[in-house]
Amino acid sequence: MFYFSPDLEKDSKLHVTKDGFRDFVIPVVDLLRDNENYCTIRLEMITDTLPQIMLTGTREMYNRQQESQQVLNYNQDFLISHYSGNLMQTLRNIPGVQSMDIGSGMSKPVIRGMSFYRIAVAESDVKQEGQQWSSHHGITIDPSRVKNIEIIKGPATLKYGSDAMGGLIHILPPEIPSVDGSQFNIQFISRSNTKWSGLSGDLSTKKGNIFSYFQASYDSFGDFSVPATDSFLLPAPVSSEQASHKVKLGKKVLNTAGEDFGLSLFTAFKTKKQLSSLELSLFKQNTGFFFWEGLKLEENRTIHSANSFDVLNPKQNNMDFNLIHHTSYLINDDKIDVTAGYQRNTTQEFSDLFDRTGNRAADLKKYIDMGGLDLQLVLSVASLRIQYACNRIPGLSIKTGMSTQFQVHQKDGFNHILPVYNKSSSGIFAIGRFQFSKIWTANFGARIDHNYVFIEKTLNADPEFGDAILNGEIKKHFVNASFSGGIVYIPHGDIIFKVNAGKTFRVPSVYELAAYGLHRHEGRFEKGNQDISPEQGYQLDLVGDFKWKTGFLAISPFFSWYSNYLYLNPTPVLRPEGQVYEYK
């Protein structure tokens, strides 16, 4: 309540303001004329609707500003513009990432010079196990269905355990659009060298809380073309006198044609607090092996030259099936994720079989009737991952969880390279992030893993040729720990500095422990070693990230030191199949 002095000037005005209400202005003369003694002023509440504001962020932005490791994200535009036949060859356009070609249409990833069992490939948070057969098997993932991909340069063992000590390639699920609708895409790709032709198409639709995505593709390619003067240096079997070392290739690398077929389905149910998805994929591949032994005979050369698209013996068939279910649920600011997966990887090698001693006549007939089945490997894998993210304390995020996996490996075929085995692995982890301020963020984490492998004893089907026991029964337990910590410093929005250090490990693969047989891709005899121990690694990563309107620059030196590094060592032992290489 307030009072007016009677000596107010005639032109005085009363101005009343209050937050959330419209201003009220009235001449004092009018106010006094209408109200002799007192008056009540009622202000009008402001009910204007503010314009809608949408805050957006990307996974790439988060990784750049919050992760102390170098984590790179690439979308479909990059993958299409750099398409190079298969996924790994496409990714070699990224600095620090290369591909190792192990056969026609087959490649393995290389990050900072590390490959094979030191680079993990994951799909929707499930680690793919197609690399457990050394270079007998490439990464059989249809590149045309990959829309978004994430690459970690450096150790990723905290999240994925052993096999990720050198880096990670993570294929992300399709993004769910925010608005309802349908979309159809079709793509045709052609390459001149192999007369490669590929066709792929996808259909996506969203209505309400349900999103579905379907994709299919088919690729076909012929023998690789080379200069007519090129020649191939044959590996010598027992002595160099038994090999004519050079074989002229002509204009084609014969029997390197192939084809592949891919099919995938993704469906999801999404609300404000829950996301549940089911992902199914199938990929089949049929490729020929370069017939370096048979090309010494003109008769074989004539047969293989008849049609550059024929896939004749020796050849390889691969089939990978994946089923992944993921559910995430928000509990206030916290989040729980559960991911379950099943995968079945199959590889078959066919060739013109022969019995060196005559002791396996029945086996020879059996496998010739199966198309000349030289080798068949089947790996079935079931996995489960549970993670709980606690975000209750401002600036602090802690993710704790566990992951477990069980593998069953079976074999068949006239020859041998890898035994029957069962393998299990389990791990618990904690990964944290604390943001001190807008310019300082710390990352830290630790993980403990237990791995167990049981390898069945394998006897030689023909003891007159080779060792009587190809590998003995092996039971091994491995317990290892990994940890890391890092800092992100952002002095300016477009300038970021990072440092990350940690300790990693890698458990020996079954191939390194118990392989025994001819590696047809390389033309050499490979042998495992059951006495080897896990690798241990220590790594330091530095990153300088600079961005401006017209471009960006990233500098990322790294330092690594490994103890007990496992490698395939050539020995002086010679066999009719080729020189013997043994893991050490």
**pLDDT attached to residue 399:** 97
**pLDDT attached to residue 145:** 87
DSSP string, 109-123: EEETTB-GGGEEEEE
**Which of 222, 213, 225, 158 minimizes the C-alpha distance to 185?**
213
Specify the residue for token string 């491995």: 478
**Distances from the Cα of 55 to the Cαs of 52, 58, 392, 437, in angstroms?**
10, 11, 21, 20
**pLDDT attached to residue 51:** 58
- Give pLDDT tens digits along the chain (584 positions): 566 665 666 677 778 887 777 888 877 767 666 555 667 778 777 766 555 555 555 778 888 888 999 899 999 888 888 887 788 888 988 988 988 877 666 788 899 988 888 999 999 999 988 777 776 667 888 888 899 999 999 899 998 888 899 999 999 999 999 899 999 999 998 888 888 899 999 999 999 999 999 999 999 999 988 876 666 666 555 554 554 556 677 788 888 899 999 999 999 999 999 999 999 999 999 999 887 666 667 777 788 888 889 999 999 999 999 999 999 999 999 999 999 999 999 999 999 998 988 899 999 999 999 999 999 999 999 999 999 999 999 999 999 999 999 999 999 999 999 999 999 999 999 999 999 999 999 999 999 999 999 999 999 999 888 889 999 999 999 999 999 999 999 998 889 999 999 999 999 999 999 999 988 767 789 999 999 999 999 999 999 999 888 888 999 999 999 999 999 999 998 888 778 999 99
End-to-end Cα separation, the chain, in angstroms: 93
**pLDDT attached to residue 395:** 92
**Which of 35, 72, 28, 80 minimizes the C-alpha distance to 498?**
72
Which domains, from first to last, does the chain contain?
1-53 (no CATH), 59-583 (2.40.170.20)
Determine contact, residues 71/59, Cβ cutoff 8 Å. Answer: no
pTM for the full predicted model: 0.85
**Residue 91 C-alpha from the chain's centroid:** 11
Sign of the four-CA dihedral 536, 541, 405, 413: negative
How would you class 493 by CB atoms within 10 Å of its CB: exposed for 0-12, middle for 13-18, buried for 19 or more? exposed
d(CA 103, CA 119): 19
How would you class 221 by CB atoms within 10 Å of its CB: exposed for 0-12, middle for 13-18, buried for 19 or more? buried
